[in-house]
Structure 1
Amino acid sequence: MSAAEVRAIVAAPGNDRLIWNTPLSEEHAARLIAACDPAPGARIADLGSGWGELLMRLVEAAPGATGDGVETDSDAVARGRKLAGERGLADRVRFHPTPAAEWTGGGYDLAVSIGSSHAWPGATARESTRNALTALAAAVRPGGRVLFGEGIWLREPTPAALEGVGAEPGDFGSLLELIRLAESVGLRALHPLHAEVTAEVDARRTGYYGGYRSSFTLAYLVLST
């Protein structure tokens, strides 16, 4: 099965088995939402939102809050719109089939991007991460917050770990390096949070258990301008 076929299955509008399109537990999601602490009436953007599960929960956490989900996967957008309608959020959460790097909205109270730094062009993966953080910082009002999820190495990666993730040496750094990268574009870390990466589909399990388990994880940073 090709990567495109896998994405089509997990992002299908009728797929109610996969809640998150990222390594995230219910407990960790609740912690992230509490850390972001959206205020009543907050304006929230999720760049690379998928079907917007986290975006909808952030909006639900704050009376009168609204959200923009920016996503190019048409199946994910269709599923997100369906879920928003079912949860009574159709007038508060809007999905936009626009590349994240081309989104021009600004003045948000909170900007989110989880595992989507590749959406910003860059000569290297690290440069894409920097470009993503720069765009998120520009999208929020002064004093606004950014929730950013990115892969980090817990220890020096072995060849098997690199192969399992599908990464080149230097594509990802440590948690400290990610925090310093965020600081370099004017963001400061409020809550560094990370969760153990788990295999999302059978096609990835060999690389996970045989290569990068206990070596690679996804860091979630709550940042402020």
Structure 2
Amino acid sequence: MSADEVRALMSAPGNSHLTWNTPLSEEHAARLITACGPAPGARIADFGSGWGELLMRLVEAAPGSTGDGIETDPDAVARGQLLAAERGLTGRVRFHEAPAAGYPGGGYDLAVSIGSSHAWPGGTTGALKALRAAVRPGGRVLFGDGFWEREPSEAALEGLGAEPGDFGPLLGLVRQAETAGLRVLQVTVADQREWDLFESAANIGQGERWALAHPGHPLHAEVTAAVDARRTGYYGGYRGTLGLAYLVLSS
């Protein structure tokens, strides 16, 4: 049970230092929103939305638009609902506590999925097919997924708990999008600074801050060990090996 408690203490939805649960800067996010180009009145869906920060910004960029956030984590949904209310988006941004693969909505102008390809059978291939099916003809897709920046070492695989075949090269990701019937409008990747800031703020930072604030807690040693393992896995393993690509696509 303590392992579950440690994961909960280090989880992303409760981490106020994270704007979004992905390596992404403000400038990069703004460029993605511009490339997606949501029109006034657009219907937008984010599959695996987390607390919906990117979804809300897309909706704010297009007057009269609406957004559906599809997310299974109740804590992320609760955070998203609170943020939407604080920003006057209640009614325009709705959260659905449901799995991405089973969500029945369609006909969207824009479908988004960042780091959630595992939610569909078939992983990346299944995700791209589902996202294409979720948008109207001529609609757009914003898809974020992992790729290998270079051949992964044993230390990188161990740090991620991954297998070599879990990801492929960046060009392979582009080709998968094309095979799914999508045309690539823009490709950008998270840079090293975005990755470093994300890793520092996410599990590592969240756990470290909690441990510093609770020196006598029964879980202190376990949280510290989890932080140290994550730090070793990143700096001694997958840093510079695992990439995250953001593809803006047209159906």
Q: What's the TM-score once normalised by structure 2's chain length?
A: 0.83
Structure 1: runs of 5 or more not aligned: 122-126
Write the deviation string for residues 137-178 of structure 1: whole angstroms up to 9, x where unpaired.
Answer: 000000100000001111111111111222101110111000
Structure 1: distance between partners of 2:95 and 2:153: 39
Q: What's the TM-score once normalised by structure 1's chain length?
A: 0.93
The 3-state SS of whatever aligns with 2:109 is: strand
Larger Rg: 2
The residue type paired with residue 11 of structure 1 is P
Find out whether 1:161 has 2:156 as its counterpart: yes
Structure 2: runs of 5 or more not aligned: 205-226
Find out whether 1:224 has 2:250 as its counterpart: yes
Find out whether 1:136 has 2:137 as its counterpart: no
The residue type paired with residue 10 of structure 1 is A
Matches within 5 A, 1:50-199: 50-121=50-121, 127-196=122-191, 197-198=195-196, 199=199
Structure 2: distance between partners of 1:205 and 1:113: 27
Aligned CA-pair RMSD:
1.4
Find out whether 1:209 has 2:235 as its counterpart: yes
Shift of 1:36: 0.5
Q: Percent identity?
A: 69
Find out whether 1:24 has 2:24 as its counterpart: yes
Shift of 1:130: 0.5
The aligned residue for residue 124 of structure 1 is none
The 3-state SS of whatever aligns with 1:147 is: strand
Structure 2: distance between partners of 1:10 and 1:177: 29
Shift of 1:5: 4.0
Using a 3 Å threshold, how does the CA distance of structure 1 residues 6 and 106 change in structure 2: closer, same or farther?
same
Shift of 1:4: 6.6
The residue type paired with residue 80 of structure 2 is G
Structure 1: distance between partners of 2:66 and 2:58: 9
The 3-state SS of whatever aligns with 1:192 is: strand
Shift of 1:216: 1.3
Structure 2: distance between partners of 1:178 and 1:185: 11
Write the deviation string for residues 42-100 of structure 1: whole angstroms up to 9, x where unpaired.
Answer: 10000000000000000000000100000010000000000000000001000000100
Using a 3 Å threshold, how does the CA distance of structure 1 residues 140 and 214 change in structure 2: closer, same or farther?
same
Q: Which has the higher helix share?
A: 2
Shift of 1:217: 1.1
Shift of 1:10: 2.4
